[in-house]
Amino acid sequence: MHPFIIVISLCTIFLLFVSATNVSAQPQPQPQLQPSTPSITSPSPPNKNLHAHVGGHHGPNAGHHRRRRGGHRHRGGHHRRGGHHRMPTTRGQTQNPPLPPTNQNQNLNQTTHDAPPCLGNENNANPGKVFGYVPRSDISDKNTLLMDEFLHAHNWVRRKYNLPPLTWDAKLASFSSSYLMLRYNDCKMIHSSSDYGENLFWGKKLHWTPSDAIYYWYNENNWYDLNTLKCLPNKICGHFTQLVWKDSVRVGCALQHCNDRSLGMLIACEYDPPGNYPNENPLVQHN
């Protein structure tokens, strides 16, 4: 190689080396530190699906207590002044009622005696007010209110004679209701063939209440002598004696208007165990 070219190459290398050294020797600018800021996370918007209203809704039958008033044939009489528990869900049905259960407590050597029908007096308006029944404000269901009134009037009478209160029995109520359905078309005051005690009531028009029917049954106490255990001649006392029969502990009742509303309405109450055994004091325990 030519000596001149070698000298130029060495000079070039030397100059590049010096230039690189000067650059590396200069101080490098330091990056400026930024103040730190807290992390802020925006909350996610609420999931509207999680807040959907999930409360149940009460259907038309909610809370509807269908008191089908069972009955047992207490032949204490039926007051033909009764009214019936107008139950829209059962009105006009004609199917046969369920067979009543056999009363295991009944003494087979004795028989009960049904009183003839009890009739309401149109001239005596609202006779049941004597019991002082006031519908409870915490009950809105009509059937429950009727049950409450039936029990109130029954137990008002029983308290008067220092007797234990009756309790409501759905099976008796169901039987009462079913039996009155059978009388829907003919509106006849005929006792059923059950083993229960049974009080019946018929009243013209449709205004009769549970208290009204029980008033007429209770009013028979004026004709019954608790000393002789006899009823006055040509009078009916069997409804009263069933009301105060100490052995009876359960009751179920129903109201039913007649198909021809001009014929009025029926009321039936069934009692278990049944009462009205001949020549026995209704106010004492028999079993």
105-141 in b/e burial notation, b at 16+ Cβ within 10 A? ebeeeeebebbbbbbbeeeeeebbeebebeeeeeeee
pLDDT value for 4: 52
Give residue-wise pLDDT tens across range 169-208. Answer: 999 999 999 999 999 999 988 999 999 999 999 998 888 9
Identify whether the C-beta of residue 193 lies closer than 8 Å to the C-beta of residue 98.
no
Give residue-wise pLDDT tens across range 108-127. Answer: 333 344 555 455 555 555 67
pLDDT value for 137: 81
The three state secondary structure string of 53-83 is CCCCCCCCCCCCCCCCCCCCCCCCEEEEECC
How many C-beta atoms lie closer than 10 Å to residue 256's C-beta?
Answer: 28
What residues are paired with 231 via a beta bridge? 224
Nearest-angstrom CA–CA distance, 60 and 234: 49
Low-confidence ranges of the chain (pLDDT < 70): 1-126
Nearest-angstrom CA–CA distance, 273 and 247: 6
Identify whether the C-beta of residue 243 lies closer than 8 Å to the C-beta of residue 217.
yes
pLDDT value for 30: 43
Considering only the top CATH level, what class is 142-272? Answer: alpha beta
